[in-house]
Each structure stands twice: as C-alpha cells, then as structure tokens.
Structure 1
Amino acid sequence: MSWLENSIMARKGLAKGQAGSSHSITEADQGKYHYVYGPYVEPVLKVDPGAVVSAETHDAFEGQIQHETDKPSEILNFPFLNPQNGPVFVNGAEKGDTLAVYIKSIVPRGPQPRGTTVIMPDFGGLVPTGDTAMLNAPLPERVKKLHIDENGTKWNDKITLPYEPFIGTIGTSPEIEAISALQPDYYGGNMDLPDVGVGAVIYLPVNTKGALLYLGDCHAAQGDGELCGVAIEHPTVTTVQIDLIKGWSLKWPRLETENFIMSIGSSRPMEDAARIAYRDLIRWMATDYGFDEIEAYMLLTQCGRVRLGNMVDPKYTLGASIKKSFLV
C-alpha cells in the first residue's frame, strides 16, 4: 500500500487522493506563459478535484540562453523570468480552502544540452545586489550548458550529478495582488525548495475562487540555498494530481512526504523565514496531532530540521520539518 493512501490529501481531499480525468498543457495550449501570480488572467484549464495535469514547462529563461557564449545581461529582459504554466482553475475551490498538489513525475524534454546554469551580474548569494549594496564590481558573466537525462546531469567528464528534479516555482493566486513569479510568499511562488519534488504533496492556501494554480521553473538539481542564484534549469513535462480540501485554511504552504511533514516560510531576514516556518509547524502539530504548543516547541528544539530553499530571491525560503515517526 502506498503512503499516499494515508496522506492528508487522501483523508481530507474531495477526491480522496484518487486520480480523476487527465489533462495536458502543451506549449501551444499555454500560448503566453505568465511572469506574475495574480487573478487577472483567464485560466488555461478548468478541472475538477482529482484531475491529473501534465504541463510542458519552460526553463527559467524560456529557452533564450542557448549557447555558452551567450551573455545573459544582453539576452534576458528582467523581470520577465520564471515563465509559469497556468493558471489552472479548480472547480469548487474558494478562499479559505487548501489545494493539495501531488507531484507525480518530472521528465526532462527538449534538445540537448537542455540544462542551463549561469552567473548573472548583481545576482547571487555571495555578491553585492540591489538589496545588499556594496562597491565591489560584479562577477564576470558565465553560462554553462549541460546534458540532462533521467540518469543524471553531466557537469563535466568527472562529475555527474543525480537527476533530482523538483518544481522551483509553484503556487496559487493571491486574492488581489499581482506578484512577480520571482518572489516566494504566503501563496507559494518561487520557493526553490528541493523537497517540492516527485512523490511529495504540497498544500497551498486558496486565496481566490478557483485557486488559480501556477507552476514552472523546474530544476534538475540544486544545492541548499541556490547559492549563485541559478540552479540547473531545464524544460520538462511535469505531471501533478490536484485535490481540494474544503475548510482547511492555511497561512503558509505545507508539504508532506512519506516520512515527514514540513511548514514553509518565506521572508527576509532569513531568521524570520525560519521563525515563520517553525511557528506554523508548531501550530500544525498542536491542531492536527494533539500536541501542546509548548511541548511541540520543546520537541522541535531537539529533532526539528530546517531545509534552506533559496537565499537569493526577494524573500528567502526555509522549510521546517519533523519526522512522522515522532507524531505519535
């Protein structure tokens, strides 16, 4: 029996975690990709809870960087980065509900070398930026194109990185704001959290009618922090199964795997992101697992885990987790 059959999605979702009708969003179906999360565009698709949706995602640069001799500063038009598929309208979703998204598969697509990572001026975790202003000169631009398949990412003749794909940017629409797909926040967005990978369920707050799910920016691999600001970006066919949990109102995204639950916070400074995540996890443990809040606080001090998603975006993202074996 799969762990998914006992997941929160299966227990609370309208579709009970069962797969329903299948849908696809090809590049042609998508037409214009979106660079903003908001309620002001028409959905590309309307589905019922249980729907399985496969989307042809672009890389973070919408395929514009094709050669190692390219200069990102001359090609890219900031802030038009992180193209998003969707939005997908989920029938029955209303403000105060939660969208459950089970990530079934992420498969690389497109001609080789299909992977891209770059150094861009004034962007990254160890360089001066607009928010961290310094007199240092920018690092020189650099582009690395990479062969990616499901066996791994060939970094060079000696190093092959395992293929560990995840969705870098996924979320629901804010209620009235239109927010850049480069920013993570309470609705999800550009969290760049490697745990949002195949086999996980991410739970996202519904802020507007239909939820309006966006996703894109898939990564073939990424270390904690996404240090230079760019992971191994690649185009994919990403397949998710969508369910709807009525009346479960979340303040921040949550995630579930076979072995742990995680609360996700995004903010600056980084310690505030950690505080958001841990506070939400404590309250989750108290509400759904019978813990006293102070007891949960003390327990997490001993066995809690923090995963650093990104330390480069307008807000930083951290996930605070606890093993399910401790939720007795």
Structure 2
Amino acid sequence: MEKTKEFQQIKQPGTHSYVFSKYLEPIAYVEPGETVEIFTKDAFENRITSEQDIPSEILGDYLNPQTGPIFIKGAEPGDTLVAEIIDIEPTRDWAVSVLKENFGGLTATELTRTLNEPLPEKVWIYKLENGMLRNNDRLNFPWRPFLGTIGTAPEIEAISALTPFSHGGNMDVPDTKPGNKVYLPVNTEGAYFFTGDAHAGQGDGELCGVALEITAKVTIKFNLIKGKTIKWPRIESPTEYMVVGSARPMEDAARIAYAELIDWMVEMGWERFEAYQALTQIGKLHVGNMVDTYYSLVAKIEKKYAQPELK
C-alpha cells in the first residue's frame, strides 16, 4: 500500500470483488477521520475499449467490479459509517457506454420476460476533453462524476455488486458525488466498505442500463457515528437531505425512501405527520436506476425547509 503526500492510497490487489460480503479479506484498514484515495475499474473491468467490441463476446458472467473491502477501525453493528466524497478524478481520458443484450430499461430482461428480440449490441466511446464527454455533435455531455456503487457489507449474506439494497450497493444515484456525505449502515465489525462503478455522468433512471462508465481515483474521508443506527442509505448535500430506497416494484422503493426521510426528519425534531405533510408539499423524488435487480429512488427535502427553527 503506497502513500501520497497526504492520503493513504488504496489499490485493489488481484481480482476485484463482485459481491458485498464480510467473508472477504480486507484490502486496507482505515481509521475514522482518515482520508483515502481509492482506485476503481469501470463496470466492465476495463475490457471494452473500442466501438468495434461486441459486449456479449467480451464480457463474462460478472460485472461491476468493486474495490474493497476496506475495514473501518472501530466500526461495530449499529453504528453509521459516513463516507464524505471529496473528489472523483478520471484515470483515463474516455468513457464508454453500450447496449447489451437483454439489459436495460426498455427491453426484455431476465427479470422482465417478453417475446421481443434482444436489442442490437452497440458501443459508444466518449472522449473526455475540456470538461465534456464527446462522441459526436449530438452525443456531447458535461462531466458530472459520481459513484454508481457504494456500500457496506450485509450482516450475513453476500449480495451481488449489481444489486442495490439497504446496505447501499449499485444504487446508481447521481447524488453520490463530490461535496456530498453518504451515510451507510454498519452491519458487521469493520463495516467492510466497497466502492466502484464510477460514472462520468448519467440521466435519471440509467435508461439503457449503462451510464458514462469510467475508471477513477476517488478521494473519500471516513467517519463514524457511534451508536447511531440507520436502516437505509442517507445522503447529505450542502443544500438537501436525501434517503435512497431500493425495491421492486418502483413504488415500493419510493415508499421506502420517503418513509425513511420522514424518520430522519423526526430525529431532527419534526412531528411525524407534520413531516409527512411537509414532504407532500415540498418533497422531491427522482429515479436513480430502473434497470437493476432492484430499482433505486431518492427522496429529498431542501435544508431550508428542514432547519431547526422551521420544525
């Protein structure tokens, strides 16, 4: 494990992880309050490099490699891990997106079976230059980095790196971005933190199932809230409080996200049904992904409506 000028630098030795699990050997040990740099591969393990590539011929059964687990010293079940995302820097000058057989929001999949033929496979390579990702004049989008996958290990089971759930995981919500804090439940000693699947940008829903996939160096500061138990991931930005719910059908994900946000507001001092009323009138809701094993939705309230003096 190398050192930078300020931060511990974490690179995955050997094979990356394709599950969130406490049964894997930690690749690094981190103190609360420590800032680290974590290097990630893209969702395709860097295997797709050309628009002539055919995803089904190149990719294996496993996607979404994660860097981890990272052991957080002092973390115990019932605590909350705080991952403050300081920066996401690209480690190459291009991103990739694809159409893949039987995958995406508008095609038949293994979980949504139809008799329609699979979509044709296609690869787009986007050049990153001057803050833009360009494939052609129409496919030309700004750099908006975030972590598609971020989470801790479940208490008992191992969960696929493609699956979002209460531990975090493959939520694909653009709110897990620099400047924001991600609050994650600690289910096992050491928390066993994983991250990967960095995106250079993505629209709501990750419609075709693949964002602007890129390799990255991620700078994160870790902290612990001892004895604080949360059920689902929370996110705090400079201006908003958010909760992510992941489930199928999509309305259940929305219900989880909003109900958990009400619980957070109650912790801040709100009366429960007054919080319900406030979110009815001023809450926000958007889709992180509509393609994974579970769908992820984010419920939000602006901090200016949730300040103590307005409770």
Aligned to 1:66: 49
Please give the secondary structure, in 2, of the residue aligned with 1:169. Answer: strand
1:1-328, aligned counterparts within 5 Å? Answer: 22-26=7-11, 29-78=12-61, 80-110=62-92, 112=93, 114-149=94-129, 151-287=131-267, 289-327=268-306, 328=310
Calculate percent identity across the aligned residue pairs: 50
Q: CA-to-partner distance for each residue in 1:280-325, whole Å, 9 max, x for gaps?
A: 00111112x2111111111100100012100000000001010000
Distance 1:302 1:202 in 2: 25
Residues 93, 244 of structure 1: 8 Å contact kept: yes
Q: Give the letter for the 2:100 counterpart.
A: M
Shift of 1:156: 1.1
Distance 1:270 1:215 in 2: 24
Q: CA-to-partner distance for each residue in 1:82-117, whole Å, 9 max, x for gaps?
A: 11001110110000000000001101113x4x2110
Q: Give the letter for the 2:57 counterpart.
A: E
Q: Give the letter for the 2:67 counterpart.
A: N
Distance 1:220 1:313 in 2: 19
Q: Give the letter for the 1:51 counterpart.
A: E
The aligned length equals 302
Shift of 1:158: 4.9
Q: Give the letter for the 2:88 counterpart.
A: I
Distance 2:254 2:260 in 1: 10
Shift of 1:22: 2.1
TM-score normalised by the chain length of structure 1: 0.90
Distance 2:124 2:109 in 1: 22
Shift of 1:31: 2.4
Distance 1:250 1:116 in 2: 35
Q: Give the letter for the 1:116 counterpart.
A: V
Please give the secondary structure, in 2, of the residue aligned with 1:320. Answer: strand
The alpha-carbon distance between structure 1 residues 149 and 106, as it changes in their structure 2 partners (threshold 3 A), is farther
Shift of 1:175: 1.2
Q: Give the letter for the 2:158 counterpart.
A: A
Cα RMSD of the aligned pairs, angstroms, is: 1.1
Mean Cα displacement is larger for which, 81-90 or 141-150? 141-150
Aligned to 1:10: none
Please give the secondary structure, in 2, of the residue aligned with 1:30. Answer: coil
Shift of 1:155: 3.0
Residues 152, 162 of structure 1: 8 Å contact kept: yes
Q: CA-to-partner distance for each residue in 1:62-84, whole Å, 9 max, x for gaps?
A: 11011111111111112x11110
Q: Give the letter for the 1:24 counterpart.
A: Q
Distance 2:36 2:266 in 1: 34
TM-score normalised by the chain length of structure 2: 0.95
Residues 183, 190 of structure 1: 8 Å contact kept: yes
Aligned to 2:3: none
Distance 2:71 2:141 in 1: 36
Q: Give the letter for the 1:194 counterpart.
A: P
Q: CA-to-partner distance for each residue in 1:26-79, whole Å, 9 max, x for gaps?
A: 3xx53221001001111110011011111111100011011111111111112x
Distance 2:71 2:19 in 1: 16
Shift of 1:198: 0.8
